[in-house]
Amino acid sequence: MKYLLVEDNPELAKAICSRMGLDGHQVDHADKISDAVAFAQTGEYDLILLDIMLPDGDGRSFLKQHRAEKNDTPVIVLTARSQVSDRISMLDLGADDYVTKPFDHAELQARCRAVLRRNTGTAQPTTRLGDVEFDPVGGYLNVKGTTINLRNRELRLLELLMNAKGQVFSKQKLVDRLFSYDDDVSENAVEVYVGRLRKHLEGSSVHIRTLRGLGYRLDHEG
Amino acid sequence: MKANVVVFGSLRNRLGIILTGGAALLAILLFFVVRGYAAQIAQEGQDNILGASVSSILDATVLREGTIELDFPYASLSMLSTSADDRVFYAIYEDGALLSGYDGLDVELPVSVGEAVFTSTQYDNATIRVASASRTLIGIDTPRQVSVSVAQTQDALAETLNRISRNVAVFGTGFFALATALAFWATSATIGQLSRLTTSVTRRGPQDLSPFLKPVPTEMVPLVGSLNTLMSRLDQSLKQSEDFIAEAAHRVRTPLATVRSYAEATFQRVETQENRDALRSMMRAIDESSRAAGQLLDHAMVTFRAENLEREDVEFDGLLRDLVQRMTPVADMRDVTINLESTAPAIIRGDPVLLQNAFRNLIDNALKYAPVDTSITIRVQTNPSISVDVLDQGPGFLVNEMDMLAGRFVRGGDTQGHIGSGLGLTIVQDVAMAHDGTMVLSNRSEGGACVTLQF
Amino acid sequence: MRYFAILILSFLPLFALAQEWEDQRVFGSEDAPHSMRILSSTDTSFFVPIIESFITQRPDVSVEYLVTGTADLDDLFRQSPDQFDVVISSAMDLQLKLTNDGFAQRLDGLTHPDWAQWRSSLFAFTTEPAAIVINTAAFEGLTIPSTRQDLIEVLRGNTELFQGTVGTYDVRLSGLGYLFATQDARASETFWRLLEVIGSLDAQLYCCSGEMIDDLAEGRILVAYNVLGSYALARADIEDVLTVILPSDFPTTMMRTALVSKSTSDPALAESFVSHLIRLQSQGSVENLLLPSLDAFQNTNGRSSIRLEPALMTYLDQLKRQVFIREWENAIIQNQ
């Protein structure tokens, strides 16, 4: 996925970019509205993350302009406000969703996914691996012609493993990525989801291997 | 609000007093002027008759063989008959000596011959009006001066004056009553303009700071003008302070977001339990503070809006559907599903912003306590009255705490490990009450909490 | 107390002696706690029923009724107004002057027609015409005069018969006579011509109506001019002897009046008497009245020709009186 981040605080921008990169997304950064408009006009972004307070104006005016240009790239607003009416007005202006700063990155990811799922049509980029076709946005897995609807954590786990095919993930790392820091879960919780995925992938050329003491790895036969 | 206004008199009363007072003054003035004028005319009438009487007597005086003879006509006194049977006195003097009639009328007789002289004096305990005139009779030897005074009491005059006074008093009172009625009308008409302005100010919504554009009388232009100026200043300063709060929040929350993002990224990398715990605490603290700040602001907002409730038709199905869509990504993260059960359209008059906030808090709470892979149900019912249940499959409320949970900053005993401010249910309760509804907490028999809002 | 009363009673005759009353009578019990003195020009006989009916209502009152001529009455009352409680007179002019001069008490409690009262102080209670009274027998064969002009012609045509047999008031002595004469003179010149005729017949002059009627009844005079008709009509004994003629050319009608002395010691008592009097005279049944009622002569002659008004004082004026008396004397006294 290719994201455009409009954020004037360089530190936060850097943190978001690096965190997004961790999930395998490509992020371009604009630190003012004028740049953002120029970037957005190229039309090559799947999603725009928009800060509201910017040095050369209000993010809301960007939104207005953005929608006036019939640009349908979905926008998620990053707002420092939490005022009830402000949330509403942002949505009225055409934002697809918003996240209140400071935000949980997992929540941001979840909202991005939800927005993308709502906005993109059937022609979605899918990842194909052997006889398995994976649609990370729609949350579908097609194994030998059978479509399986993945649940959220299954989806995220598969996405994680698919994006770094052949790489070994420790249980700890997977817990950190799948669960909120607040969910007080043991490493064994991961086993449940790995088990579910294995069941879905049964009979396909894609396997999740257990490397005892190290973690898991996605392998592909042939 | 009214209690804070320092009251000094009333415009209506002041106007009323000035107008009715003026009318009373005019009526009194009218009374005295007319009465005085009438008294003058009546007195002139009496004087005319007295003068006629005097001259008829004088005319009858003749000097025969050196003796004054006086054969005055019956009419001389007859003309003095009045309805009040006024007493009549007369005196005839020859060169100042009483010749006939009443002694002691005590009037200064006119020295020169000519017009009758009129005076008022006391005689026998009564006020009398005296007319006197003189005439010189030329005899053989010396000229003789004959003077005649005719006097009359003033009972009829007083009666006439009393009658006139009564009539004028009635007229004056009528004038006063009419003027008072007019004053009332004028006052109400004037105050009516003010009342209309007041009504239109009062009827405005709390957010409406736009200028008054309705036409007003010239005299009220300065008032409305300065009111409009004040409104625009208020509007501006409100916007400024809103901008300031937004700016402040931005300045505080953006670095917090930065820190949190870094902490999260670092959390993914570090291995040692000690460091992981530290980062976890850090993130928790950040989340806690940001959530608390948000809830506090929301609570203040809700309190303000609830006091100045703006009502419009709110359709629950659409409102909740939007909300569910908004909350679904968060629910998905924990593989919790949110079901909206709504059959018939439920519409109430209320503030959609407040209602949305209330339901968001309820769903937030449910999400916090719902175990993984469970569902949250939102059920809208219209029979017997409109109610909304928010049900989860979590641990439910502690029975002995249920009554207290709606209090401010009260958190349940089972909330360890969950981020919260203790304001969520307070907000929900306030919103319900502002819409004449109630919030009922209960536990489901099959397990889980149930919060019902009834309207 | 009793001795004191006796003392007063013993002095009363002395007082009475000092004044020559035509009549003097006390009505009611002598030990009545309240007493009242009425000074009147009306013969006692006319007032007996009125006073007696009053005393029936007020047994605690004794009334002393004193009669004298109108002129004398005026003098007497002016001298000592505190001696009398009620003053009744046929001389309207004198009564009016008394009132005008402040001798009368205002009685606001009484309601009386406006034309019959003055200043709520002087109350008229009879209407009485001045009449020509003739000895019926003497006029046998002669035209009975119905006007003053008729009378003049009858007298002129029979000078022998009427020489010394015509009577009228001596206006110098009688207040009522003076009032009648002045009012006649006001009304018509006929009066003076009549007076000339009467004077030429060597008229008999009287102080009072009573005496004139007595002489008429006894035939000493044959015609009396300006007699109080009521007195003549009241004399039932001479009904056949006398004829009372009310002149039809113009009536001279006077009203008997009553007033309460301002100096009365018991105003309430005096007022109640006057109230009784006027009620009786204006509302009582006519048969019981000896005096003509207030409305007696209203039908034929209208109201009293002499109105209660200050103009009544005109002829009381000294200068005016001198002129009138001189003219009257010139007319009536021709043979002296």
* ipTM of the complex as predicted: 0.84
Quick one: C19 and C165 in the same domain?
A: no
Neighbours of B397 (CB within 10 A): 21
Name the pLDDT band for C121 (thresholds 50, 70, 90): very high
Give the pLDDT score at C16: 45
> What is the share, in percent, of chain A residues with pLDDT greater than 90?
3
Q: Where are the domains of chain B?
A: 1-203, 311-454
Q: What pLDDT does residue C1 have?
A: 45
pLDDT value of position C14: 44
pLDDT score at B153 = 93
Residue B71 has pLDDT above 70, yes or no: yes
Q: How far apart are CA B382 and CA B316, in angstroms?
A: 11
**Residue A157 and residue A23: Cα distance in Å, rounded?**
11
Burial per residue of B438-454, b for 16 or more beta-carbon CB atoms within 10 angstroms, e otherwise? ebebeeeeeebbbbbbb
H or E segment and range at residue B199: helix B155-203
A25–chain B Cβ distance below 8 A for any pair:
no
Q: What pLDDT, on the 0 to 100 scale, is given for residue C301?
A: 47
Asked whether residue C259 falls in the same domain as residue C246, the answer is no
Looking at residue C267, its pLDDT comes to: 93
Q: Is residue C273 part of a domain?
A: yes
- Give me the residue from B70, B80, B125 closest to C319, CB to CB: B70
pLDDT of C286 > 70? The answer is no
CA–CA separation, B209 vs B232, rounded Å? 7
Q: In a mutagenesis test of the B interface, which of C318, C320, C322 is the best target, namely the one with the most B β-carbons within 10 Å?
A: C320
Residue C100, CB-side half-sphere exposure with 13 Å CA sphere: 29
The answer to whether residue C62 scores a pLDDT higher than 90 is: yes
Per-residue pLDDT tens digits for A15-31: 888 888 877 788 999 88
Chain B nearest-CA distance from A145, in A, is 25
- pLDDT over threshold 50, residue A215: yes
Total residues found in chain B within this entry: 455
Instruction: With CB atoms and an 8 Å threshold, state whether C310 touches B99.
Output: no
Give A180-184's long-range contacts (Cβ < 8 A, gap of 24+): A180/A104, A180/A106, A180/B333, A181/B264, A181/B267, A181/B279, A181/B280, A181/B283, A181/B284, A182/B284, A182/B287, A182/B417, A182/B418, A182/B419, A183/B334, A183/B372, A184/B417
So what's the pLDDT on residue B207?
A: 66
Residue C310 domain-assigned (yes or no): no
Judged against a pLDDT cut of 60, whether residue A45 lies above it is answered with yes
Mean pLDDT taken over chain B = 84
Please tell me which residue, B61 or B408, carries the higher pLDDT value: B61
Position C285 pLDDT exceeds 90: no
Q: Report, as an integer, the average pLDDT of C22-33.
A: 89
Predicted pLDDT of residue C34: 92
Closest CA to C179 of C263, C69, C295: C69
C71, C119 in Cβ contact below 8 A? no
Task: Using an 8 Å CB-CB cutoff, list chain A residues near B239.
Answer: none
**pLDDT for the residue B48:** 93
Q: Report pLDDT for B3.
A: 52
Tell me: pLDDT of C4 over 80.
no
Q: Parallel, antiparallel, or unpaired for β C128-135 and C242-245?
A: antiparallel
In this prediction, residues B91-101 reach a mean pLDDT of 88
Instruction: Tell me which chain C residues have a C-beta less than 8 angstroms from the C-beta of B68.
Output: 319
Which one, of B301, B435, B449, B294, lies nearest residue B355 by Cα?
B435
Task: Residue window 97-156, chain A: list those with CB within 8 Å of chain B.
Answer: 97, 100-107, 110-111, 113-114, 151-153
Quickly state the pLDDT bin for A136 (edges 50, 70, 90): confident
Query: Looking at residues C301-329, what average pLDDT do you find?
Result: 85
Task: List CB contacts (< 8 A) between B70 and chain C.
Answer: 317, 319-320, 323
C135 and C116 share a domain? no
Q: Do chains B and A touch (3 or more CB pairs under 8 A)?
A: yes
State the pTM of this model: 0.59
Q: What CATH number corresponds to the domain at position C108?
A: 3.40.190.10
Is there a single domain that holds both residue C179 and residue C322? yes
CA C250, distance to chain mean position in Å, is: 20
The token duo for B193 is 């303009």
User: Which range among A151-155, B160-164, C262-266 has the greatest average pLDDT?
Assistant: C262-266
Segment B372-391 mean pLDDT: 89
- Report cis status (omega within 30 of 0) of the bond before C49: no
Q: Has residue C48 been placed in a domain?
A: yes
Q: Do B329 and A111 touch (CB under 8 A)?
A: yes
Name the residue of chain C whose CA is nearest to B53's CA: C311
Q: Are C313 and C100 in contact (CB under 8 A)?
A: yes
User: Is it the case that residue B201 has pLDDT exceeding 50?
Assistant: yes
Residues facing residue A76 across a β-bridge: A49, A97
**Residue C266 sits in the same domain as residue C157:** no
Confidence of residue C153 (pLDDT cuts 50, 70, 90): very high
Tell whether A186 lies on the interface with B, counting CB pairs under 8 A.
Answer: no
Q: Is B127 on the interface with C (CB under 8 A)?
A: no
Per-residue 3-state assignment (H helix, E strand, C coil) for C196-233:
HHHHHCCCEEECCHHHHHHHHHHCCCCEEEEEEHHHHH
Q: How many contacts does A have with B, using Cβ atoms within 8 A?
A: 130
Residue B99 near chain C (CB below 8 Å):
yes
Class of domain A2-119: alpha beta
Identify which of B69, B85, B101 has the shortest CB distance to residue C323. B69
Residues C8 and C111 in one domain: yes
Domain boundaries, chain A: 2-119, 127-220
| Same domain? C178 vs C197 | yes
pLDDT at C18: 59
Cα dihedral across residues C175, C176, C179, C185: positive or negative: negative
Residues C328 and C203 in one domain: yes
* Neighbours, chain A (3 or more CB pairs < 8 A): B
- Choice between C232 and B379, residue whose per-residue pLDDT is larger: B379
Structure confidence by residue, pLDDT tens digits, B393-419: 888 888 777 777 777 666 666 665 566
| Distance set, CA A197 to CA A201, A203, A208 (Å) | 6, 12, 8
Asked if residue B440 lies in contact with residue B425, where contact means CB atoms within 8 angstroms, the answer is no
Contact B85 C118 (CB under 8 A): yes
Top CATH class of A127-220 equals mainly alpha
Chain B contact present for A221, CB below 8 A: no
* C173/C24 same-domain check: no
Q: Which domain holds residue C155?
A: 129-253+316-332
* Mean pLDDT along residues B278-285: 87
Average pLDDT of the residues in B289-307: 79
Sheet of A132-135, strands arranged across: A127-129, A132-135, A140-143, A146-149
Percentage of residues of chain B with pLDDT beyond 90: 16
- C317 vs B72: CB contact, 8 Å cut-off? yes
Question: Is B329–A15 a contact, with Cβ atoms under 8 angstroms apart?
Answer: no
Residue C277 within any structural domain of the chain:
yes
C9: confidence class by pLDDT, cuts 50, 70, 90: very low
- In-domain check, residue C142: yes
Tell me which residue in A15, A52, A97 faces B261 most closely, judged by beta carbons.
Answer: A15
What is the least distance, in Å, from the CA of B441 to any CA of chain A?
24
Number of domains in chain C: 2
Mean pLDDT of C249-267: 91
Task: Report yes or no on chains A and C touching (3+ CB pairs under 8 A).
Answer: no
Q: Does the pLDDT of residue B377 top 70, yes or no?
A: yes
| Mean pLDDT value across chain C | 86
Residue C76 in domain: yes
C-alpha C114 chain-centroid distance: 21
Mean pLDDT of C268-294: 85
Please indicate, yes or no, if residue C17 is contained in any of the structural domains.
yes
- Residue range C14-34: mean pLDDT, rounded: 79
pLDDT at B417: 57
First CA to last CA across chain C, in angstroms?
Answer: 59
Chains B, C: CB pairs < 8 Å: 65
Confidence of residue A99 (pLDDT cuts 50, 70, 90): confident
Question: At B414, which helix (H) or strand (E)?
Answer: none
Is pLDDT above 90 for C60? yes
Residue C8 has pLDDT above 70, yes or no: no
pLDDT for C299: 47
pLDDT number for residue B408: 67
Express each pLDDT in B29-51 by its tens digit: 988 998 899 889 999 999 999 99
Domain B311-454 class in CATH:
alpha beta
Judge whether residue A142 has pLDDT over 80. Answer: yes
If you write DSSP's letter for every residue of B222-240 in order, what string do you get? HHHHHHHHHHHHHHHHHHH
User: Alpha-carbon distance A5 to A2, whole Å?
Assistant: 10
